[in-house]
Amino acid sequence: MSTPKTIIILSGKRKSGKDFVASLLQEKLDPNRCAILRLSYPLKSQYSKDHGLDLEKLLDASDFKELYRADMIRWGEEKRNQDPMYFIRAISSEPGAEKPIWVVSDARRRSDMDCLHQLFPNIILSLRIHAEEIVRRERGWQFVHGVDDAESECGLDGYNSFDHHLENDGDVNKLNDVIDNILRSHHLLS
Ligand SMILES: Nc1ncnc2c1ncn2[C@@H]1O[C@H](COP(=O)(O)OP(=O)(O)OP(=O)(O)O)[C@@H](O)[C@H]1O
């Protein structure tokens, strides 16, 4: 199993900008040293095999994944109930996991945080990303029953152990400054 030097965990509501922030972080930290890994990757990989779907389309930013989101959530819960570490262990086999810095861009549940801290103690920096509902709507978000009120979306709402909170309402310059300051304060950027 690959063991990185630093893991930056991102959490936030749908369309809060997790992927956007993950890309900014990877650029700042150097793509040769920093990989974006997703807890949803092993889930989508196995789900696509079981259901005869195109994995690339489930992974990309298009709305294709929205057709399957509710069922993938149900299927993922079943797997997690059988083995809470299932998806956490699987990320260390993802492409890029050999790099020393991981950005895990989609923590969604209390168990994701607990398992990551348990498996990789003392190297985790956790960031919660916030965006106003109106901004998320402009980015294409709509409330969906079974998705936006499910544990996968709300499981970390009350989690109060994030290392930092980021506002991502659209001012990219401000966002860049905040991210730079966080990285500097953790000696990840000079
Ligand atoms: N600060 C920003 N400035 C401009 N565009 C942004 C910003 N943040 C996010 N976006 C855009 O908003 C859209 C949604 O962002 P993103 O995909 O990063 O959200 P997400 O939290 O990963 O969503 P999901 O949980 O649905 O995967 C994307 O098109 C992204 O490029």
Neighbours of 136 (CB within 10 A): 21
Whether residue 82 is contained in a domain is answered as yes
Whether residue 58 is contained in a domain is answered as yes
Whether the CB of 17 sits within 6 Å of ligand 1:
yes
Pocket test for ligand 1, best of 38, 58, 139 (most atoms within 8 A of CB): 139
Query: What pLDDT is attached to residue 176?
Result: 98
Whether residue 190 is contained in a domain is answered as no
Q: Which burial class, exposed, middle or buried, applies to 58 when counting CB atoms under 10 A from its CB (0-12, 13-18, 19+)?
A: buried
Whether the CB of 76 sits within 6 Å of ligand 1:
no
Ligand 1 geometric centre to CA of 142 (Å): 14
**CATH number of domain containing 173:** 3.40.50.300
Whether residue 86 is contained in a domain is answered as yes
Host domain of residue 16 = 6-185
Per-residue pLDDT reduced to its tens digit, 49-97: 989 999 999 988 788 988 998 899 889 889 888 998 888 888 988 889 9
Tokens of 169: 């309402």
Whether residue 1 is contained in a domain is answered as no
Ligand 1 geometric centre to CA of 16 (Å): 6
Whether residue 22 is contained in a domain is answered as yes
Query: What pLDDT is attached to residue 76?
Result: 87
ipTM over 0.85: yes
Whether the CB of 169 sits within 6 Å of ligand 1:
no
Per-residue pLDDT reduced to its tens digit, 29-56: 999 999 999 998 988 998 999 899 999 9
Number of domains in the chain: 1
All residues at 6 or more sequence positions from 39 whose CB lies less than 8 Å from its CB, including other chains: 87, 88, 91, 104, 106, 107, 108, 112
Whether residue 66 is contained in a domain is answered as yes
Judged by average pLDDT, the poorest of 69-83, 89-103, 118-132, 164-178 is: 69-83
**Dihedral sign (CA 132, 189, 186, 118):** positive
Whether residue 109 is contained in a domain is answered as yes
